[in-house]
Amino acid sequence: MASVQVTPDTWAFTALGDTVRFTAVARDSSGRPVVDQPPSTWRSDPPGVVFVREDGLAFATGPGLARVIATVDDVADTAPVSVVQTIESVAILVGLYGHLGALGDSIQLPVAAFDRNSFGVAGTTFSFQSLNETVATVNLTGWVKAVSPGVANLVAMAAGKADTAPVQVLQDVATIALAPDSAVLEDGTSRQFTAILKDRNGYPVTDRTPDAWRSSDTLVLGVSASGLATARAVKLGPATVIATSGAVRGEAPAYVFTPFVAVAAGPAKTCAVSSRGRPYCWGWIDYTSGLRSTVPFERTASPALGTSISAGVTLSCGLTPGATAFCWGDTPFGLSGAPVVSPPTFSSLSVGYVTAYGLTASGDAYAWTAVSPGPTLVPGGLAFATISATYLACGTVASGAAYCWGANLTGGIGDSTYSDRPVPTAVVGSHTFAAVVAGGGHSCGITTGGPTYCWGRNTYGAFGDSTTTNTTYPVPAAAGLALTSLALGDFHTCGLLASGAASCWGLGERGSIGNGTFDQARLTPAPVSGGLTFASISAASQHTCGLTSSGALFCWGRNEDGELGDGTGTNRAVPTRVAGSRP
């Protein structure tokens, strides 16, 4: 055997996986085939381009150049082969990318070329085109950039073959900003909010609106499906307007307020009437049920009230514009309240700790309680011009004479005794009063001539006369201040000057003096801090409230039951705006 001849003597593969069978013929020195040729062995070099089986069948396995080698008894021949894939198709691999979630985002377009056996053609150079460049663009290297929401068809081309696939630009909402970014709404008004949705790159999302709108507190504020916020004002104060898109939310703080026209401080609570006649209470609203609120809460079952309201322990009452008394509290009035039906009308009222009093236009005084809800005429046959009640009651008649009745443990009746009086009893001293106010342990009145007098308990300086001396008869008080009105708590007193400036004195350990201190006892009047001027003032227990002429309401002092209405339980030594009060 002189030589070996491989057939075919060369081969060009155009697709991976293609095959061709090689044969090897052994020849003698004369070139004739050798009879009984020994078996051939096959191999390729270098490996990785072609694989040759033992029977000479060759498989294209990778691009490149190689030799197919046949050996017979140490005699060999070779056939050069090449593997150069011909591109038969181009494919954009849609499953390898999702949508573009933000304008300005980019992705590398996954694309591949394949030979006729669907093997990938490595090293292929592609060209690209977007058929909708207003939605997405693609550069020379296949990077796709989001321009606007929508769908763009992208084309990848190589060797005259092409594929087209869509890419979706669908902005994912990353932030929501609300406009306006905050709002102050008066009871009965509305404000339209709009939502500005943006993707993570800060581009507006213009093809969607929020999935939902809502309010953090529907008693304060209602929000429609279109973002219209309406002040419901069942509760007053802060709430939040919320818009959501998926798991993303945007918020805007809102404040719902109402102007107030009347205020009444009561034991551990306060009540007030809004300019729309809606009655509100806060603090320990109802002792029986334990209902509490640190912000104004409407007594929703009540009819509209006028400008008269008063708060006690077991009852709170107000007068309707038709002069009917309406009360809520202990049974039978309950939390929903009920009218006082006889007599039919009153000109004013005052609610004490337990007993409520109403004055008719003729000056008759009637009393009722939760236990005895039917009004009964106060004995004595007096026609009162004013009336004020706590655990005792005091009133003035047309002549200016003052009368008090009820419990007299502290001398608050002012008749020079400590004896309880079941009927109105004249306050000694022959003073002519414009009004007399009953407190928790003392009583005070402003005379028609101007001076103020107090009597009863003066333990912490509630008279403002520089002493702590208790008396059972009127003594000069308020350090000679010319006051126009008075408000009495259990152990402190406040008054207004003609200018509307307020001063307070007496027990101040919880801040009820309003001068920025928590003094145990203030024996003389101290100006209330803040420079505010008030149209009216009311006090009870250890807190005080003042109402401005514009309807703004401020309270100070004890707040352990939320009676200041500022949304907290923190005692305040200076006037603090009630939540939902006019800004």
Start and end residues for every CATH 2.130.10.30 domain found in the chain: 260-577
Spatial contact of 543 and 565, defined as CB atoms under 8 Å apart: no
Question: Is the domain 260-577 a CATH 2.60.120.10 member?
Answer: no
Beta strands in 330-411 (DSSP E): 338-340, 348-351, 356-359, 365-368, 376-377, 384-389, 392-397, 402-406
Start and end residues for every CATH 2.60.40.1080 domain found in the chain: 89-169, 175-256
Strand order in the sheet with 536-540: 536-540, 543-547, 553-557, 572-577
> CA 495, CA 506: separation in Å to the nearest integer?
12
Count of other CB atoms within 10 angstroms of residue 144? 22
HEC states along 460-501?
Answer: CCCCCCCCCCCEEEEEEEHHHCCEEEEEECCCEEEEEECCCC
Q: State residue 89's pLDDT score.
A: 97
pLDDT tens digit sequence for 367-424: 999 999 999 999 999 999 999 999 999 999 999 999 999 999 999 999 999 999 999 9
* Sign of the four-CA dihedral 40, 41, 44, 49: positive
Give me the half-sphere count of Cα atoms (radius 13 Å) on the Cβ side of residue 564.
Answer: 26
Give the Å distances, CA to CA, from 345 to 62, 214, 366, 496. 107, 43, 11, 30
Single-letter amino acid, residue 444: C
Task: Output the tens digit of pLDDT for each of the chain's 583 residues.
Answer: 789 999 999 999 999 999 999 999 999 888 899 888 888 999 999 999 999 999 999 999 999 999 999 999 999 999 999 999 999 999 999 776 778 999 999 999 999 999 999 999 999 999 999 999 999 999 999 999 999 999 999 999 999 999 999 999 999 999 999 999 999 999 999 999 999 999 999 999 999 999 999 999 999 999 999 999 999 999 999 999 999 999 999 999 999 999 999 999 999 999 999 999 999 999 999 988 899 999 999 998 999 999 999 999 999 999 999 999 999 999 999 999 999 988 889 999 999 999 999 999 999 999 999 999 999 999 999 999 999 999 999 999 999 999 999 999 999 999 999 999 999 999 999 999 999 999 999 999 999 999 999 999 999 999 999 999 999 999 999 999 999 999 999 999 999 999 999 999 999 999 999 999 999 999 999 999 999 999 999 999 999 999 999 999 999 999 999 999 999 999 999 999 999 999 9
* Sign of the four-CA dihedral 96, 102, 107, 109: positive
Q: State residue 507's pLDDT score.
A: 98
Start and end residues for every CATH 2.60.40.10 domain found in the chain: 3-83
HEC states along 19-43?
Answer: EEECEEEEECCCCCECCCCCCCEEE
Q: State residue 344's pLDDT score.
A: 80
> CA 358, CA 346: separation in Å to the nearest integer?
6
DSSP one-letter code for 298: E
Q: State residue 239's pLDDT score.
A: 97
> CA 65, CA 58: separation in Å to the nearest integer?
14
Give the Å distances, CA to CA, from 582 to 263, 271, 534. 14, 16, 14
To which CATH superfamily is domain 3-83 assigned? Immunoglobulins (2.60.40.10)
pLDDT tens digit sequence for 310-345: 999 999 999 999 999 999 999 999 999 999 988 889
CATH assignment of 175-256, among 3.40.190.10, 2.60.40.1080, 1.10.10.60, 2.170.190.11:
2.60.40.1080
Class of domain 89-169: mainly beta
Angle subtended at Cα 405 by Cα 410 and Cα 429, rounded to the nearest 5 degrees:
75
| pTM for this model (two decimals) | 0.83
